[in-house]
Chain A
């Protein structure tokens, strides 16, 4: 009885929830049935359910070259670096932004740091090219030349690209990430800061003792969420930005670009599904592991 009453009372809210739920089911749950394609040889005439099973055969192409480990090393390596760097940069910028007293300056800087995030990687690839192009690039012409150093053929030397790609990625995403942290910081209880100031805590002391500890749950949540994407890579960053240069592939090949290059010609649904399946399963396992770790150390902040 009481239940019925409660349902009735919240009925409008339930109704408002329906479109979202439908979206979730249609877009995120029904497609799960398609995961079977990873283990099937897709036949157009037989459809998804009727196509024959082939076991793990679709996964083999990922491990065919002797550089297979390189795919995983690159994908995970870059993601780990991005993860750590993004947190440090974003938190630092968010805290700095919080310390800006002039409202005008704060608004301008918020806008300016967001600009890179709004650019597409195709545009960014040409900005990068304008900097590192061999004959007309800024670095070779305006920095190295005046210093008397001979220009470097950037697009043929893979050793520089881990640094370049990391810089590009950080530059593009730090603005957006820091806005998230900044939004959290301005929600903190001001009285804590005032009390600390009365007790004689300086700016640095307040950051270390109040802001950072309060920020920890947000950092952990966002980190856990990005760990789920550990085995994915931003196709734009690794394919467009190095301009698909063959010489750089040792440093720029990730699972996504390898799959794209290998299957572009063949329209092979089963193998593409297999690659996606592997990425999401590995990502899922990593999230579970990371969450387990967090739960053990700081059970309050675990996702589940």
Chain B
């Protein structure tokens, strides 16, 4: 209780610090520009040249839409805490609801504004950009979140150390499923017994190949979902499917064969870290294209990586579309200006380039083929405007891609959406308000059993039975029923 209040006091302090800045900032600028505050996430690099970029943004926005933007830099580690606080008093006007609680919880607590009218008036560009995908931001009849333009579909894949693959003659294109992967794993283990194949049970995305739509519950907490191969609207308990058992067979065998890192239960590092430290050969992940999934991590890892698919379909679900939603706080006093700016981010290529890649000539230079490169003397680590954060912003696909990507790089993202297999529940969003207690209880059950069962650290068969039973006791059936009811209502309306 007390802690909560200290947090709120903290929010007051933060706003207190923001206010003078706001006053200084607006003094010199044109009086009619409406000022909005937009938080920006810092990951590896600090945005040292934020002021410079912000000024360039304002040069575009003040003239075109009469909005002055202040970027508020927040560290990744405190992103969710800080933003939750800022939402309590409306000191931000537009934010990316990523690495926070699901959008539905903010809808439920009235923290974010319904956007329908704003979209009608100021968001025509957004509507054109997103088309049907805009529906994934609809909760209880109204749009509350706007997904970013992205490659929406997701395909389970494995990302591997390219050097070892080359050395052992492993061809990424030959891997299509867990059987192929197991074969490769044996081969690598034989040649490099000192190396673990899979990093951890806690971070690996083993559920991916099952191919299901989680219907709004995140991570390993799959409380009812659709099996996508069945292509129907029947909500099932994923933990009780054959597919789940089949997945357990694989992971349990891998564990017995010593393919995981030592003490996987206690490994706290991210899966990617194990690969980049050369402690593990590969990790499981997802992406619309395995090659791209590997590529995006190459810089982080400082090594070459190959990606292979582990399933042959690319599914797009509401959850895969709504991973990063842009929302406007209900307490914001500048909702219209925020929507104007958001709309501009979707359609204005100059603005998108600016926020995604920085200033031309300062942070990047154009190549002849239409791609961009770091300005002289800069690289991913010493640039003053983080170069890898483009995907944070609403529409990276209208920007110039970084070399060595091909000029039509982002077009391939858009194209992948057309090839994706849509979940039958695409566009459906689950409102958990009626079953929050059950979700809290089931979450605890999953955290107790899930990893042990996946890694087969104990008698899997009897544990699995206990796991399922405790989920029933904790009310998973109520959650599934609620999902089914909401889903049926949604389908009927459609």
Point out residues on A near B: beta carbons under 8 Å.
27-28, 30-31, 34-35, 37-38, 41-46, 60-61, 64-67, 129, 133-136, 153, 155-156, 243-247, 249-250, 253, 258, 261-269, 271-273, 276-277, 280
Contact = CB atoms under 8 A, between A and B. Distances in A.
Interface string B81-103: 00010011000000000001110
Given A44-B330, A155-B265, A31 B441 contact: no
A136 B261 CA distance: 12
Contacts of B445: 65
Contacts of A135: 262-263
A263 B452 contact: no
A280 B1 contact: yes
Given A45-B330, A246-B451, 9 more contacts: A27-B6, A37-B1, A44-B87, A61-B436, A134-B263, A243-B265, A246-B448, A262-B444, A268-B109
B473 interface: yes
B330 A266 contact: no
Given A44-B111, A265-B443, A269-B4, A129 B266 contact: yes
Nearest to B432: A266
Contact of A276 (B3, B100, B441, B447): B3
A155 B266 CA distance: 8
Nearest to A71: B444
A265 B221 contact: yes
Nearest to A59: B437
Given A66-B473, A266-B105, A261 B5 contact: no
Contacts of A156: 265, 452, 457-458
B447 A246 contact: yes
B178 interface: no
Contacts of A265: 101-102, 105, 218-219, 221, 439, 443
Closest 9 CB pairs of A and B: A262-B440, A31-B5, A64-B441, A61-B437, A267-B101, A44-B111, A43-B110, A276-B1, A249-B448
A238 B253 CA distance: 31
9 contacts: A28-B2, A37-B4, A46-B110, A243-B266, A246-B447, A265-B102, A265-B218, A265-B443, A267-B109
B331 interface: yes
Contacts of A43: 109-110
Considering residues A129, A266, A272, which has the most beta carbons from chain B within 10 angstroms of its beta carbon? A266
Interface of B: 1-6, 84, 87-88, 100-102, 105-106, 109-111, 218-219, 221, 262-263, 265-266, 268, 329-331, 432, 436-441, 443-445, 447-452, 457-458, 470, 473-475
A133 B266 contact: yes
B91 to A, nearest CB: 12
A57 B92 CA distance: 31
A258 B447 CA distance: 10
A44 B440 contact: no
A272 B262 CA distance: 36
Given A44-B110, A135-B262, A65 B473 contact: yes
A44 B331 contact: yes
Given A31-B2, A277-B1, A64 B438 contact: yes
Contacts of A245: 265-266, 451
B440 A155 contact: no
A268 B443 contact: no
Contacts of A65: 441, 444-445, 470, 473-474
A28 B436 CA distance: 30
A212 B152 CA distance: 71
A38 B2 CA distance: 12
Contacts of A153: 457
A134 B262 contact: yes
A267 B110 CA distance: 12
A37 B4 CA distance: 10
Contacts of B436: 61, 266, 268, 271
Given A31-B2, A153-B457, A155-B263, A243 B452 contact: no
Contact of A261 (B4, B84, B438, B444): B444
Contacts of A35: 1
B367 to A, nearest CB: 43
Contacts of A136: 262-263
Contacts of B2: 27-28, 31, 276
